[in-house]
Structure formats: C-alpha cells, structure tokens
Amino acid sequence: MHTQTISQLAHGLRSGQFSSVELTQHFLDRIKRYPELNAYITVTDQQALQAAQQADIKIAAGTADLLTGIPMAHKDIFCTQGVKTSCASKMLDNFIAPYNATVVDKLNQAGAVMLGKLNMDEFAMGSSNETSFYGAAKNPWDTSKVPGGSSGGSAVAVAAQLAAYATGTDTGGSIRQPSALCGITGLKPTYGRISRYGMIAYASSLDQAGPMARSAEDTAILLQAMAGFDPKDSTSADEPVADYLADINQPLQGLTIGLPKEFFAEGLNADMATVLETAIAEYRKLGATTQEVSMPNLKLAIPAYYVIASAECSANLSRFDGVRFGYRCQHPQDLTDLYVRSRGEAFGKEVKRRILMGTYALSAGYYDAYYLKAQKVRRLISEDFSKALSEVDVIMSPVTPTPAFGIGEKLADPIEMYLADIYTIAINLAGLPALSIPAGFINGLPAGLQIIGNYFQEARLLNVAHRYQQTTGWHQQLPEDFT
C-alpha cells in the first residue's frame, strides 16, 4: 500500500480494498520499523487512528474528498492544536500549539490523516537537517548522507514511504533542495499562494509553505487543497485558485524553456550537468524548444538573501525570550539574566549565528549599508526573472550543485553550507513559483531538475513536470533498503 500514489490510495479506499484504519496502521508500523531515519519528531498514533475511523465513516457515506483517509505528516513548523510544535528547537521542545495553522485546517477539512510532525533544521535555518535539536534525519538512499534541509524530515518521510505525502516550507530552497536530494517532487508556490498563518516565521517576506509528494500529479492534488486566500494572513494573495489537474496532461509542443547561462556555468558538478542535459533533451523530444537567457544579478543572490533572511529572523525570533512560552532558564537572577540565559541555552549555533548577523545588519549605521542595499539587489534579481520570463514560458536549472553530501561534511564551514542553496535562493527573493522533480541519479544518489515559472503559474509548472514524468520513471524509483 505504501508505494501507491494519492490517486491509487483514494481508489483503494473507495473500492474497499483497504480501510483508512488499515492504511494508517500500515504507515504507523513502517514509522516504527525505521527509527534510524529519524524522520519524525512526534508520532500521533492515537490521533491518527481516530481520524482514520472518521474518514472511513465519510468514505462509507460517499461524502469523502480525494484526500480523505490518506495518511500524511506535517513539517514541525506548522502549529497543530494539542500537539507539540517544536521547530526542531530546544526553545520550543515543550510548546503545545493552542491552534491549527491554516494549512493544517485546510488538509483536515480535506480529510487528511496526520501521522505526526516531521524533523527539520532548527527554525528552518539550515540546508542539511543537521541543525535539528533532535539530530539529523538520514537520507534513505544512503543513510550516511544528509537529506537536505530545512524540510529534510518531510523529504525522508515521502521518499522512504513513511507518509503518503508531507508539508514543507521554503525560505531559500527548503522544499526543493531536500526533494532533489531524496528523489521526490516538491513545489514552492508563488509567495502568498498558501497561507502562512500558524506557520512559525523564519523570514516573513521569503517563507512559503508547499506540498511534497512522489509525483507532479500528487503535488497538484495537494496544492488544490492547500492554496487559497486567508484573511488571517496579511501576506496571503487574494487570487483565484486554478484547477491544477485540469490541464496537467496538455502537450508541450510550443513550450519555450529558458536556460540561464549563469546557472550552467562554473561550479556545477559535471555529473549534475549531464543529468540536466539528458532531462532537457527529453523535453525537446516532447516538443519544447530551448533558449539561453541571462540574469546577470544572480551572482548577488546569496549575500542579499542572507542579509535579508537574517535580519527578518532577528526580528521574528526576538519573541522567544523565556517569558511567555517556550524554554525558560533555571533560577534567573534578574530579567536580563532570564533573557540572556534562556536564549543562549535554547537556541542552537546556526540560529544564534543568523540572529547575530541580522541584528548587526539592522543596527544603527549599518541598515543602509546592508539591509537596504540587499533589498535593492532583490529588486534587480526580480527584474532579471521578469525579463527572462517575458521571453520564455518556463526556466529550467539545477536544484543543487551536487547530489547529497555526507553528514558532518560541511558543518565546519557555514559558507560552504550556504552555497548548497545557490540555485534556489534567487527564486524566493523574487517570490516566484518553482518545483523540483527527480531527473536521474549520480553514483546511486538522486539528482533534481528545477522548473521555474511566472507568478501564479503553478498549473503550468505542474503540467510541464507531469508530462516529463509520464515519459520517464525517475520519480517511481524507491530506495531499496526501505521498500
């Protein structure tokens, strides 16, 4: 059962091949069987089985939605009422969310069965899942390798079939990068397409929730349930939600693909370049044409991103002070001691690093030199994408410069770790939609292809990805040790 797609599972539930309770128990058993992957922070066994019982009642009554009764899991950055929401941090290790995030509510309304909460980099700050207070999740293709981050637990759960699908968040590549490294499909929608309400903030102008699944078709089903305007989120886009399955099978004749010369230049792993060339050749067979495009400001994306993201994280994480909720130090001498020790003891090294960088960039005398200048660069990057997308229909690029690297390999060099997101960060700065799809293997490890589109053109991206997946089998490959 665990190897089936969302559509196949929905058919099995409706035809009586298995019940939601049986399906849910099957996934719970798999989670217990593979603790070494460390994909889950919290497993909600009883809650999941109760939800499955309710789903079976709806299915029997003929009132079920497509997702009703199908087991899934949430990245532990989404508030889930009555369940620990930790952001993989000691700071929130004792925090029980008093309400649901909008994404959680929407999937609950669609009948989803939550199996639990998934591992991640602490407060979504990382590219490898190694900053988690609960230890790194492991890549199921090679458990000595990282799964990527920050949505690493989500990617592991889907790749190892410990959930039928998962939610993730993407601030600078945190859905697409782990999806590529674990061989699944992950979509970062247009900024504002999915509500951020109840999603604990890292960098508010960059964070975006999105679906992570085995295929583009499954991703389209999930986006349909997750997308939409939310009056509780001031950054939510009041745009109509498309029917993401309606045109998913449209042929690709006449599609123009832009290939940014800056993304295919020095620094790209030679094997990765070969994987991408093979994937693009497949698109030409499907009727697409390619065109080189130039985005000269892409080289500025990483410094601009880390100034902006760190500044916003400094502001957002100031609320964690040991007073209202979360971790509090023992026996503080005074209020200052409470603040200093609570934050110092509860935040990990990478979170502290970014808070310090952000606070410095926002400080008097440096705001104009760093934060304001980074925002101006952001505008230039956005204009580069707008120009390119006025000439082509979609842009294709690598997701990562290399396949998954070893656990511990880059921890000593934060700059090298930051470069793992070199191909994804610019898309967040521009607020555009992009997705990662499996496109091959390098020495037994998955490699991904990134497809970037114009604002609110997720349906087109999913169509482009789906047509490729109909003629290739990369997305159907499963890690042998966890089948």
Segments in 286-423 forming alpha helices (H): 301-316, 335-346, 349-362, 373-389, 414-418
Q: Kindly state the average pLDDT of the residues 107-126.
A: 97
**Percent of the residues in the chain that have a pLDDT greater than 70, as a whole number:** 100
The lowest-confidence range among 28-37, 206-215, 220-229, 415-424 is: 415-424
Closest to 396 in 3D by CA, of 431, 442, 434 = 434
Does residue 439 surpass a pLDDT of 90? yes
Residue pair 247/279 in contact (Cβ under 8 Å)? The answer is: no
Confidence of residue 365 (pLDDT cuts 50, 70, 90): confident
Does residue 380 surpass a pLDDT of 90? yes
Confidence of residue 371 (pLDDT cuts 50, 70, 90): very high
Choose, from 75, 106, 138, 145, the residue flagged as catalytic: 75
The lowest-confidence range among 25-34, 340-349, 416-425 is: 416-425
Angle between helices 45-61 and 20-33 (to 10 degrees): 150
Confidence of residue 443 (pLDDT cuts 50, 70, 90): very high
For the stretch 252-265, pLDDT in tens is 999 999 999 999 87
Question: Looking at the domain assignment, is residue 35 inside a domain?
Answer: yes
**Per-residue model confidence (pLDDT) at position 386:** 97
**Per-residue model confidence (pLDDT) at position 352:** 97
Choose, from 150, 195, 236, 314, the residue flagged as catalytic: 150
CATH number of the domain where residue 50 is located:
3.90.1300.10
Q: How far apart (Å, rounded) are the C-alpha atoms in residues 242 and 236?
A: 16
Closest to 434 in 3D by CA, of 210, 124, 159 = 210
For the stretch 287-336, pLDDT in tens is 999 999 999 999 999 999 999 999 999 999 999 999 989 999 999 999 99
CA 393 → CA 5, 239, 345, 426, 466, distances in Å? 28, 20, 49, 18, 16
pTM listed for this prediction: 0.96
Q: Which domain holds residue 442?
A: 6-255+433-482
Confidence of residue 414 (pLDDT cuts 50, 70, 90): confident
Segments in 127-238 forming alpha helices (H): 152-159, 176-182, 216-226
Q: How far apart (Å, rounded) are the C-alpha atoms in residues 368 and 12?
A: 59
Q: How far apart (Å, rounded) are the C-alpha atoms in residues 170 and 277?
A: 26
Task: Give the DSSP H/E element, type plus range, for residue 367.
Answer: none
Q: How far apart (Å, rounded) are the C-alpha atoms in residues 397 and 389?
A: 14
Does residue 241 surpass a pLDDT of 90? yes
Residue 53 makes CB contacts below 8 A (sequence gap 6+) with: 20, 21
End-to-end CA distance of the chain: give it in Å, rounded: 11
Q: Three-state SS for 68?
A: coil
Question: Looking at the domain assignment, is residue 108 inside a domain?
Answer: yes
Chain position carrying tokens 């293997």:
441
Confidence of residue 364 (pLDDT cuts 50, 70, 90): confident
**Per-residue model confidence (pLDDT) at position 238:** 96
Q: Kindly state the average pLDDT of the residues 231-237.
A: 97
**Per-residue model confidence (pLDDT) at position 479:** 96
Does residue 267 surpass a pLDDT of 80? no
Residue 109 tokens, joined: 């309304």
Does residue 432 surpass a pLDDT of 90? yes
Does residue 266 surpass a pLDDT of 80? no
Mark whether 174 is an active-site residue.
Answer: yes
Question: Looking at the domain assignment, is residue 280 inside a domain?
Answer: no
* Neighbouring C-alpha atoms within 13 Å toward the C-beta of 269: 21
- Phi and psi at 170, nearest 5°, equal -135, 110
**Per-residue model confidence (pLDDT) at position 118:** 98
Question: Looking at the domain assignment, is residue 315 inside a domain?
Answer: no
Residue pair 470/216 in contact (Cβ under 8 Å)? The answer is: no
Choose, from 174, 215, 236, 436, the residue flagged as catalytic: 174
Confidence of residue 162 (pLDDT cuts 50, 70, 90): very high
Residue 339 tokens, joined: 């603040």
**Per-residue model confidence (pLDDT) at position 427:** 98
- Phi and psi at 94, nearest 5°, equal -110, 15
Residue pair 437/185 in contact (Cβ under 8 Å)? The answer is: yes
Question: Looking at the domain assignment, is residue 79 inside a domain?
Answer: yes
**Per-residue model confidence (pLDDT) at position 483:** 84
Q: How many domains does the chain have?
A: 1
Q: What is the CA radius of gyration of the chain?
A: 21
**Per-residue model confidence (pLDDT) at position 12:** 96
For the stretch 52-77, pLDDT in tens is 999 999 999 999 999 999 999 999 99
Does residue 412 surpass a pLDDT of 90? no
Does residue 416 surpass a pLDDT of 90? no
Question: Looking at the domain assignment, is residue 174 inside a domain?
Answer: yes
Question: Looking at the domain assignment, is residue 414 inside a domain?
Answer: no
Question: Looking at the domain assignment, is residue 67 inside a domain?
Answer: yes
- Phi and psi at 407, nearest 5°, equal -60, 125
In DSSP terms, which residues pair with 148 in a beta bridge? Answer: none
